[in-house]
């Protein structure tokens, strides 16, 4: 009677190259699924605190840090408010400039001035919100202590 080949004993080795040695994984090392290059254990990777801080400093008014950390609702609100504020501010500025060119000695008033003030106020509100976001990310407070999956920042 002949003994079966080693690859016939293990059903999981089907299709594997018998000349290639199979080594067990080292203890404590996550096993990766080659198709997705993600840990097979299913835990979420922590987001970088430094990346979140830099995003909040340079792009915080647009809500980019909120998208990075998974808080899409806050990110969309900040982005829409920022774009709306910028459009209102620029439209008001353009209307004021046109009215000054048409009549240089008239005081700015009308719809352009209202748009200018409304856009400026919204820019001020978004700027304060961005400053609070920077402080919260730096101090790891409020929702910025963890990402949206509850994983603390690394």
- DSSP letter at 33 equals E
Quick one: which of 59, 46, 80 has its CA closest to 133? 59
Distance in angstroms (rounded) separating the CA atoms of residues 68 and 47: 8
Per-residue pLDDT at 102: 84
Burial (0-12, 13-18, 19+ Cβ within 10 Å), 10: exposed
Per DSSP, the three-state class of 125 is: helix
pLDDT of 101-148, one tens digit each? 888 777 766 788 899 999 999 999 999 999 999 999 999 898 888 888
Tell me the pTM.
0.65
pLDDT of 26-60, one tens digit each? 666 656 555 555 554 556 788 889 999 999 999 98
């Amino acid at each position: 009677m002949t003994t079966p080949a080693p690859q016939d004993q293990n059903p999981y080795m089907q299709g594997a190259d018998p000349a290639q040695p199979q080594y067990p994984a080292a203890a404590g090392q996550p096993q990766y699924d080659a198709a997705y290059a993600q840990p097979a254990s299913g835990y979420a990777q922590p987001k970088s605190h430094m990346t979140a801080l830099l995003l909040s400093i340079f792009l915080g008014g647009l809500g980019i840090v909120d998208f990075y950390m998974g808080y899409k609702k806050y990110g969309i609100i900040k982005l829409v408010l920022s774009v709306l504020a910028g459009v209102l501010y620029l439209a008001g500025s353009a209307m004021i400039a046109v009215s000054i060119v048409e009549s240089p000695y008239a005081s700015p008033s009308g719809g352009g001035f209202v748009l200018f003030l409304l856009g400026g106020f919204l820019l001020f509100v978004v700027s304060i919100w961005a400053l609070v976001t920077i402080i919260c990310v730096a101090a790891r407070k409020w929702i910025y202590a963890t990402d949206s999956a509850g994983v603390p920042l690394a």
